[in-house]
Amino acid sequence: MEPKRLDKKIVSEFLELSTPNISDALDSLRIRGGCEGIKPIVPSVRFAGQAYTVKYVPAGLVPGTVGDYIDDVSPGNVIVLDNEGRTNCTVWGDLLTVTAARRGIAATVIDGVCRDVGRVRDLQYPIFSRGYYMVTGKDRVEVVGINVPVSVSGVQVRPGDLLVGDDSGVLVVPMERAEQVLGVARKIAENERRIEEEVEKGSRLRDARQKFRYHELQRAKT
């Protein structure tokens, strides 16, 4: 079952913001969202999209499969693979990269590793993971859930939650709080822009920061 869709305008507006600005907004709203250790395979790519989740566990006595889910993922979604942080086997390779790029999938986020990195870089497909390793996950791990709540670096990701990624990493925005987070992040970005303008005019950074209350931007509001 497809999760509820966010307004496309909201998703696209998150692309205009940096993950640090969004992270500060999450802090101010007491929402944990940063996925520690998850980094881009290809530099200078950005994405925003709703989660399509896949959960893996170690393979049993009779191994299951690593999953043939990709044909069911809608364009613009982000595939989120919870391989429990394993780095000894991969759950993503070139066939998935080619198919995802062809289908217009926004990105793939893996709590684990990918392989066939050359193809990823050739296609400039946004993959964010703990790294890469050539060993297959076939007969080592298996899918136990699709479009179920999963975890990435200890952060819960539910089907339909919004994920945003850039060179600084990946974060998760709960779907029902997306519009609120967007509003706060915009204000933070605007204040930082004003601070930069003050510095360019010759102000000291300390004074510019004080003027726009920089050190309070990420603080939780009481």
Domains in the chain: boundaries: 8-175, 182-216
| Separation CA 114–CA 129 (nearest Å) | 7
Walk along the chain (222 residues) and give the pLDDT tens digit of each residue.
Answer: 566 789 999 999 999 999 999 999 999 999 999 999 999 999 999 999 999 999 999 999 888 899 999 999 999 999 999 999 999 999 999 999 999 999 999 999 999 999 999 999 999 999 999 999 999 999 999 999 999 999 999 999 999 999 999 999 999 999 999 999 999 999 999 988 887 777 877 867 777 777 777 676 666 665
Residue type at 38 in one-letter notation: I
Q: Which CATH architecture has domain 8-175?
A: 3-Layer(bba) Sandwich (3.50)
